[in-house]
Amino acid sequence: MLKGAMVGFGFIAGKGHHPAYLARKDVEIVAIADVSAARLDAARAAAPDARLYPSWRELLTKETALDFVDVCTPPDAHAEIALAALRRGAHVLCEKPLTTTTAQAMELLAAAREHRRVVFPAHNYKHAPVVKFALDVIRSGRIGSVRAVTLNTFRTTHAKGVPEWRTDWRRDRKTAGGGIAMDHGSHSFYLTFAWLGSLPTHVTAKTLTLDRQWDTEDNLNAVLTFPTGYAHCFLTWTAGVRKVVYSLQGKDGALVIDDDDWELTTGVLSGKPRVEKGSIASHWMDASHTQWFDSLFDQFKAAMQSGDFVGRELREAVACVQIIETCYRSSAEGSRELPLPLDVLEI
């Protein structure tokens, strides 16, 4: 039985992670910290046996037998909490974005290595059933080598946090570290790594703020250059519809995903293309993505058990933060293409 603590018991913790822990037989959430008294009440209702704390520092001081800490606060606090947990000897599962700066991400990576504890990001979109299907299609060779991918993420508004705390924290730069690029960029970027089979070398980006009452961007256009192709990522909080539309363009065909629906074209090189269509229930509308959590946690557990402290997932999380940071710089410099200097596979 793994003993875990949760820090931040808001939307993703309460609706996503905790219900998934309850359904597992190998995890016991023994402690929960949240700065909001109302959220501690919610934690008490969901986990009557857990010890509750108004501060994560107190939790980490008093809870001395934790296997892992699950960090579910807004991004500005991720690095400090994760570092403190590692120093107390706990493994860390951390919501995206891992941190709000590359320097913090590198500090976490170094601490994982020093303390011999896993840091694992919640890169849960990889675990959506239709996204797993996309990887199967690539591996089958049916669309040939993938040279370009497009990832459109349409949202009609920013995601809201629980009403008991600061529901619009995602539009506050200090708390969120940025706007939609910081909040959602990771999901698109780690999918491009999987689909193009490598990490990007350069990025050019344009951020826009259409809803000007906030100090964070609500639209991002980014083009990532890879050794074997490119990715175009468009993220918006000002769309007229909520959905994802992804396309993977291969030498011999293509896969287009529209939420659960997919359309696969194969045999283009033969001059007789074949089109298949289907649908895979992936629960995109449930923003807690609680159905995807189990297989993500299985990977975290495997990393803890095998001592894979600085694994591929952590390196990809560092790469995501570097791309987000570089998107902001590129946009500020007139969308100039900028190199991504840090080779995360080498650190």
Ligand X SMILES: NC(=O)c1ccc[n+]([C@@H]2O[C@H](COP(=O)([O-])OP(=O)(O)OC[C@H]3O[C@@H](n4cnc5c(N)ncnc54)[C@H](O)[C@@H]3O)[C@@H](O)[C@H]2O)c1
The residues binding ligand X (CB under 6 A) are 7-13, 33-36, 39, 56, 72-75, 77, 95-96, 122, 124, 159, 161-162, 165, 169, 183, 287, 289
Shortest spacing between CB 12 and ligand X, in angstroms? 4
Shortest spacing between CB 16 and ligand X, in angstroms? 6
Which CB atom, from 10 or from 178, has the smaller least distance to ligand X?
10
Shortest spacing between CB 11 and ligand X, in angstroms? 3
Position with the least CB separation from ligand X: 10
Shortest spacing between CB 210 and ligand X, in angstroms? 21
Strands 119-121, 91-94: pairing kind: parallel
Report in angstroms the alpha-carbon separations of 204 from 70, 320, 342.
33, 14, 16
Both structure tokens of 189:
């970027």
Q: Which residue has the tokens 């999987």?
A: 194
Report the phi/psi class of residue 272: left, alpha or beta, with left for phi > 0 and alpha for psi in -120 to 50: beta
Which CB atom, from 34 or from 217, has the smaller least distance to ligand X?
34
Which CB atom, from 42 or from 137, has the smaller least distance to ligand X?
42
Shortest spacing between CB 209 and ligand X, in angstroms? 19
Which CB atom, from 67 or from 183, has the smaller least distance to ligand X?
183
Both structure tokens of 71:
């960090």
Which CB atom, from 137 or from 191, has the smaller least distance to ligand X?
191
Sign of the CA dihedral running 60, 99, 209, 260: negative
Which residues make Cβ contacts (< 8 Å) with residue 165, sequence separation at least 6? Answer: 10, 35, 36, 39
